């Protein structure tokens, strides 16, 4: 297994998109193939891949926001038959080492499905296991009512998400808080680039998110599926089980619904 950068001119580059990302993420969660290639050519996106028998077995995709100095782990995926064999862990090591050396981000973030709102799926993965994976790699939740912005104007947002902190510049996040400034700048750029505008007066979810980022700091919480209650989600009104468009694994759904009813 080799862990290496896969540039936009590599024959493996679109294989990562077609064989890994398309397989692991719903269309609402995934940028288009054109955006993927263009951002890499522009230098704001890069791919670290795990190559096995000449094919990509796993990959992590970074998006760099120069303005906010925030790095986003946009996607990480491992081929379903190779999950649980340590490849994801090796990719996370790259996030914590080579990615940090490359741009020295103030904050490194990732978007995770909240297990109270998302169900397990054989193809797209298990939100509770995923939280455990990130917790093992020292990630923390930002205390925000997060949603993933729509990937294009008029597209659909993914509700019930967690914005997680994977890494911070030395001394930048401490005593259980992270500074809100870079997160606000990052979200402003992200929403403008994807949804085309920010109109908080007609957007209650956006307004709640920006309200929760309005103080100087954002509280950091352990990624614990049992107890993760985020600001703005506390009354549960915005954190309903999110029905995926794809065909769901019925047995897992029943278990997830039961867990939801029991408060996980
Ligand atoms: C999450 C993922 C990248 C981890 O990669 P991996 O190579 O399986 O991870 P490792 O072998 O290094 O570590 C194993 C851990 O990964 C997590 N994991 C394993 N299978 C998983 C699955 N189907 N879904 C989510 N997480 C999973 C578990 O925490 C597991 O630890 P456990 O055995 O104690 O439960 C991979 O499982 C995957 O591609 N999942 C589907 C896509 C996805 O969820 N991407 C992340 C979006 S934020």
Q: Is 126 in the pocket of ligand 1 (CB under 6 A)?
A: yes
Q: What is the pLDDT of residue 127?
A: 86
Q: What is the pLDDT of residue 150?
A: 93
Dihedral angle sign, alpha carbons of residues 236, 237, 241, 246: negative
| 244 — pLDDT class (breaks 50, 70, 90) | very low
With a cut of 60, say whether residue 124 has pLDDT above it: yes
Q: Bridge partners of 222?
A: 140
Average per-residue pLDDT in the chain? 86
| 154 — pLDDT class (breaks 50, 70, 90) | confident
Q: Atom 10 of ligand 1 has which residue's CA nearest to it?
A: 86
Distance 196 CA to ligand 1 centre (A): 32
60-64, 89-93, 116-120: least confident range: 116-120
Structural domains of the chain, with CATH: 1-105 (3.40.630.30), 111-264 (no CATH)
79-93, 100-114, 194-208, 242-256: least confident range: 242-256
Q: What's the pLDDT tens digit per position in 6-21? A: 999 999 999 999 999 9
Q: What is the pLDDT of residue 253?
A: 41
Distance 22 CA to ligand 1 centre (A): 16
Q: What's the pLDDT tens digit per position in 21-52? A: 999 988 888 999 999 999 999 999 999 999 99
Which one, of 75, 67, 152, lies nearest residue 109 by Cα?
Answer: 75
Distance 123 CA to ligand 1 centre (A): 12
Q: What percent of the chain has pLDDT over 90?
A: 67
Q: What is the pLDDT of residue 61?
A: 98
Q: Atom 29 of ligand 1 has which residue's CA nearest to it?
A: 133
Q: Atom 22 of ligand 1 has which residue's CA nearest to it?
A: 125
Distance 10 CA to ligand 1 centre (A): 26
Q: Is 166 in the pocket of ligand 1 (CB under 6 A)?
A: no
Q: What's the pLDDT tens digit per position in 87-107? A: 999 999 999 999 999 999 999
Q: Are 73 and 88 in contact (CB under 8 A)?
A: no
Which one, of 162, 116, 115, lies nearest residue 139 by Cα?
Answer: 162
Q: What is the pLDDT of residue 233?
A: 63
Dihedral angle sign, alpha carbons of residues 21, 23, 28, 29: negative
Pocket test for ligand 1, best of 21, 52, 133, 164 (most atoms within 8 A of CB): 133
Q: Is 64 in the pocket of ligand 1 (CB under 6 A)?
A: no
| 122 — pLDDT class (breaks 50, 70, 90) | confident
């Amino acid at each position: 297994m080799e862990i290496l950068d896969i540039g936009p001119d590599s024959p493996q580059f679109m294989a990562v998109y077609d064989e890994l990302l398309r397989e692991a993420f719903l269309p609402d969660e995934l940028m288009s193939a054109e955006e993927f290639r263009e951002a890499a050519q522009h230098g704001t996106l890069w791919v670290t891949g795990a190559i096995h028998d000449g094919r990509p077995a796993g990959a992590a995709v970074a998006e760099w926001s120069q303005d906010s100095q925030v790095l986003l782990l946009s996607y990480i995926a491992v081929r379903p038959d190779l999950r649980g064999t340590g490849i994801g862990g090796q990719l996370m090591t790259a996030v914590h080492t080579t990615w940090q050396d490359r741009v020295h981000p103030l904050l490194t973030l990732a978007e995770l499905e909240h297990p109270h709102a998302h169900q397990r799926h054989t193809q797209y993965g298990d939100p509770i296991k995923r939280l455990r994976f990130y917790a093992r790699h020292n990630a923390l939740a930002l205390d925000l009512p997060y949603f993933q912005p729509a990937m294009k104007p008029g597209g659909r947002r993914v509700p019930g998400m967690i914005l997680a902190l994977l890494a911070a510049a030395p001394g930048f996040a401490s005593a259980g808080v992270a500074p809100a400034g870079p997160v606000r700048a990052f979200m402003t750029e992200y929403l403008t680039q994807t949804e085309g505008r920010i109109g908080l007066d007609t957007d209650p979810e956006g307004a709640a998110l920006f309200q929760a980022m309005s103080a100087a700091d954002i509280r950091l919480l352990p990624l614990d599926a049992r107890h993760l209650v985020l600001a703005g989600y506390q009354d549960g009104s915005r954190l309903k089980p999110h029905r995926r468009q794809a065909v769901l694994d019925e047995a897992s759904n029943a278990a997830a619904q039961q867990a939801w009813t029991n408060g996980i």
